[in-house]
């Protein structure tokens, strides 16, 4: 097996299960790959998105960072408005766990803005 094939075959992204009692489900949270990390970095550079519509930012993060136990995406871009109809405390809790898994937060904001 070539070095490239070994690299591509490596499962190097962390996952973490999260029970969401309010919804009666267990979600799988994902560490972002490079492409998704770039999307997140772009969203954080959007001042209006971050300051005026923080729950939209959170919902978009859920789209990128959540799957079911089969690995299938739970949310889609088309479902963002439906996600925004859910309990904001639940959305915040999931968002915070995704960010923690990805090393995103106040301590890492400067690094994220550089990407």
Please tell me the predicted confidence (pLDDT) of residue 10.
Answer: 93
Residue carrying structure tokens 């309010």? 22
Determine the straight-line distance between the first and last CA of the chain, rounded to whole angstroms.
32
pTM of the model: 0.85
List, in order of start, the domains of the chain with CATH numbers.
Answer: 3-114 (3.30.2220.20)
pLDDT surpassing 60 at residue 29: yes
- Give the pLDDT band of residue 106 (cuts 50, 70, 90): low
Please tell me the predicted confidence (pLDDT) of residue 108.
Answer: 57
Closest CA to 90 of 16, 15, 24, 39: 24
Question: pLDDT digit string (tens) for 46-105?
Answer: 999 899 999 999 999 999 999 988 888 999 999 999 999 999 999 999 999 999 999 997
């Amino acid at each position: 097996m070539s070095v490239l094939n070994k690299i591509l075959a490596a499962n190097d992204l962390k996952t973490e299960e999260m029970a969401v009692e309010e919804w009666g489900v267990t979600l799988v949270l994902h560490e972002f790959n490079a492409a998704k990390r770039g999307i997140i970095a772009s969203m954080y550079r959007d001042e209006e998105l971050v300051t005026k519509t923080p729950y939209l930012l959170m919902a978009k993060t859920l789209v990128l960072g959540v799957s079911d136990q089969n690995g299938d995406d739970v949310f889609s871009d088309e479902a963002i408005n439906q996600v925004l109809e859910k309990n904001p405390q639940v959305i915040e809790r999931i968002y915070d766990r995704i960010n923690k898994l990805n090393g995103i937060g106040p301590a890492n904001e400067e690094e994220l803005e550089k990407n």
